[in-house]
Amino acid sequence: MSTAYFYLTDEGGQLARRLAASHPGDLYNKENFKAALREAFHKYDYLVCIMATGIVVRILAPLLVHKTSDPGVVVMDQKGRFAISLLSGHLGGANDLAREMAALSGGEAVITTATDVAGELSFDTFAKNHHMAIENIQELKHISGALLAGKPVRVITDRHYAELTASANTAAGTAAHSSGDSNTAEKMKILTVQEAKEHLSKYTADHTKGAGTPNEDPAGEESLPTVVIDEGFTFPSAPPFPVLYLRPRTICAGIGCKRHMDAASIEEALLTILKKEGISPLALKCISTIPLKADEPGILTTAEHLHVPVMIISTADIEALDIATLGIQTSNFVAEQTGVLSVSTASAYLASGRGRILRDKVKFKGITVALCQVEGE
């Protein structure tokens, strides 16, 4: 994560250098600082501005886009007494950065995001810290609003119980002005994906029999604001309650293809397999292939379009696999062309850290696709 420090005074410069000694970053002084700050907004992950808050607001306001893309901005006074999380406190990391800067300067972090102040878990921060994609961030306000109002939320997940509890306890413990009785862990009603499906099936059956209408909530459970933490589970139709989808990035897609295969065909093949497996494209962690395909434009373009990195798996690592034990499909023709018996499945398997094979290679015209899942995430 890249950081830039901006200062206008000699004392501010001393503070910037002291901070950068522990949290490395580039230093900018007052020379052409307005233009430099505007440029840095698009270049760095974090901006630490040692100057008046109003100066920073006036310069950066026209550049703001969305909290999912703007950098984290922290403003400090030149004596380091206060570190203010000004912009992108959660997803941009400004809240944590403000705490870090305050600890380094001996000052106080100023955090104003409601969930942090109240000691409640912020699910966007949770998603960021656990490498999850947020599918519909517009629903986050309903989840946070329920927690802040002291109401329960339903969480659907097959894992992450320990992480959820730990994060909730941490949020409660670090709240600067929490009353001490706010803890998201006590408000979460957790269901597994299978339990959620059974619950949904029963609910649908009850209403089909005339027990109520989809908007009625006789038991008080169906209408709970809900967080889904899963690679693919999605309610089949829009439910009468808010749902926030968090997609753990655990899926590695292995791809093999003929030379100069077009990106549209590769992406279509990949999305087709993901849909058949009930997996959201946002759950992709990477696309993997072999060195022979490292410069394949179609693969590179597909990865760029889906916002995932390309991981190149060496032929030596693939050759070292016990293919027979894994039980994956092989091809002598592929071996003649590439030097390995398996491209897509073997590369996905190794990219996932020898995880779980979800789908052995599927053949399309000139393309093969396989899916593996990282375990333990």
Look at the chain and count its residues: 377
Are 345 and 233 part of one and the same domain? Answer: no
Is 117 a member of any domain? Answer: no
pLDDT band for position 15 (cuts 50, 70, 90)? very high
Order of strands across the sheet with 188-191? 132-134, 243-248, 226-229, 153-157, 188-191
Are 243 and 276 part of one and the same domain? Answer: no
Is 182 a member of any domain? Answer: yes
Last residue of a domain, one of 199, 231, 247: 247
Are 128 and 243 part of one and the same domain? Answer: yes
CATH code of the domain containing 22 = 3.40.50.11220
Are 310 and 239 part of one and the same domain? Answer: no
Are 108 and 150 part of one and the same domain? Answer: no
Is 53 a member of any domain? Answer: yes
Are 152 and 42 part of one and the same domain? Answer: no
Are 15 and 32 part of one and the same domain? Answer: yes
**Number of domains composing the chain:** 3
Range of the domain at 365: 251-373
pLDDT band for position 323 (cuts 50, 70, 90)? confident
Is 194 a member of any domain? Answer: yes
Report the chain's terminal Cα–Cα distance, integer Å.
22
Residue 200 is predicted with a pLDDT of 74
Q: 136 burial class (0-12, 13-18, 19+ CB within 10 angstroms)?
A: exposed
Are 242 and 256 part of one and the same domain? Answer: no
Residue among 238, 239, 253, 237 at smallest CA distance from 313 = 253
CATH code of the domain containing 313 = 3.30.420.180
Are 223 and 239 part of one and the same domain? Answer: yes
Q: Give the chain's mean pLDDT.
A: 90
In angstroms, what CA-CA distances link 238 with 81, 234, 242, 376?
48, 9, 9, 31
Are 132 and 150 part of one and the same domain? Answer: yes
Is 350 a member of any domain? Answer: yes
Last residue of a domain, one of 213, 247, 281: 247
Is 366 a member of any domain? Answer: yes
What is the rounded CA–CA span in Å between residue 187 and residue 153?
6
pLDDT in tens, 132-188: 999 999 999 999 999 999 999 999 999 877 888 888 888 877 664 444 456 777 888
Residue among 163, 246, 158, 141 at smallest CA distance from 195 = 158
Is 118 a member of any domain? Answer: no
Are 135 and 197 part of one and the same domain? Answer: yes
Structure tokens belonging to residue 294: 């490292």
Instruction: Choose the most confident range, by mean pLDDT, from 15-29, 206-220, 318-332, 363-377.
Output: 15-29
Are 175 and 270 part of one and the same domain? Answer: no
Residue 328 is predicted with a pLDDT of 86
Neighbours of 202 (CB within 10 A): 10
- Per DSSP bridges, beta strands 72-76 and 243-248 are unpaired
pLDDT in tens, 79-112: 999 999 999 999 999 999 999 999 999 999 999 9
Last residue of a domain, one of 112, 139, 161: 112
Is 212 a member of any domain? Answer: yes
Residue 202 is predicted with a pLDDT of 67
